[in-house]
Chains A and B, each alone.
Chain A
Amino acid sequence: KAGVTQTPRYLIKTRGQQVTLSCSPISGHRSVSWYQQTPGQGLQFLFEYFSETQRNKGNFPGRFSGRQFSNSRSEMNVSTLELGDSALYLCASSLEDGGGYTFGSGTRLTVV
């Protein structure tokens, strides 16, 4: 059974650019959530998607957005990148509500 796949693994972008990260959940998992990890703020919840609908969003500016497709694959987009957006972005997929999360290897974004 394939795990959660995140692409790309590493990304370097310039301030002001935008970026799209991808997450393919475990087959059959309909919930996908995204987390940002930085040395200063730790692991923070970005948003959660279930059946193509964003159910919840964390305390992040509107520059952070996402979507989920009918096959449960999810993308997150960050527009007008800032230096502070440099982080490890982790995606997690879940079968049931709140009971189990499997994480991908993450995308390490560096904004220069």
Chain B
Amino acid sequence: AQKVTQAQTEISVVEKEDVTLDCVYETRDTTYYLFWYKQPPSGELVFLIRRNSFDEQNEISGRYSWNFQKSTSSFNFTITASQVVDSAVYFCALSGRLTGGGNKLTFGTGTQLKVEL
């Protein structure tokens, strides 16, 4: 069975602080994808990044960066110089193959990030 753990339920920071959201996953698949999504109050899931299991290279996109470490089964997300607009719930997810073919996403429980002035 696949599992994604986001131990941080809620994080509050002051604007311009750096913040790291943790994600730990479990899977027996050798090929899989990891994702981060942002969910603002309006409800839609906004795609942030996808990483396949063979690519451990870290990635930076503006103020966002991701650290993927297979050795610790972690895929952490850092926001540098946080802004109020970053306030949202962030989900880490794992895409796994199903026996019937196809895939599904297994989500963590999400981390509510609050950025205050």
A-side interface residues toward B, CB under 8 Å? Answer: 31, 33, 35, 42-43, 45, 48, 50, 55-56, 58, 88, 90, 92, 94, 97-106, 108
Shortest distance from the beta carbon of B93 to any chain A beta carbon, whole Å: 8
**Cβ of B104 < 8 Å from any Cβ of A?**
yes
Tell me if B104 and A48 are in contact (CB < 8 A).
Answer: yes
Which residues 64-111 in B have Cβ within 8 Å of A in the complex? 91, 93, 95-98, 100-107, 109-110
Tell me if B50 and A100 are in contact (CB < 8 A).
Answer: yes
- Neighbouring B residues of A105 by C-beta, 8 Å: 42-44
Q: Which residue of A lies closest to B6 (CB)?
A: A42
> Besides A56-B104, A58-B104, A100-B47, 19 other CB < 8 A contacts?
A35-B107, A42-B107, A43-B105, A43-B107, A45-B105, A48-B104, A55-B102, A56-B100, A88-B43, A92-B105, A98-B32, A98-B96, A99-B50, A99-B52, A99-B95, A100-B50, A101-B35, A105-B42, A105-B43
- Neighbouring A residues of B105 by C-beta, 8 Å: 33, 35, 43, 45, 92, 101
How many residues of chain B are within 8 Å of chain A by beta carbon? 28
Choose among A42, A103, A108 the residue that contacts B45 (Cβ–Cβ < 8 A): A103
Q: Would you list 10 pairs from A and B whose C-beta atoms are within 8 A, ordered by A residue? A: A35-B107, A45-B104, A45-B106, A56-B100, A90-B45, A92-B45, A98-B32, A99-B33, A100-B33, A101-B95
Docked complex Cα distance between A103 and B45 (Å): 6
Q: Which residue of B lies closest to A97 (CB)?
A: B103
Choose among B43, B96, B102 the residue that contacts A31 (Cβ–Cβ < 8 A): B102
Shortest distance from the beta carbon of B95 to any chain A beta carbon, whole Å: 4
* Residue of A31, A43, A97 with highest tally of chain B CB at under 10 A: A43
- Neighbouring B residues of A42 by C-beta, 8 Å: 107, 109-110
Docked complex Cα distance between A54 and B104 (Å): 13
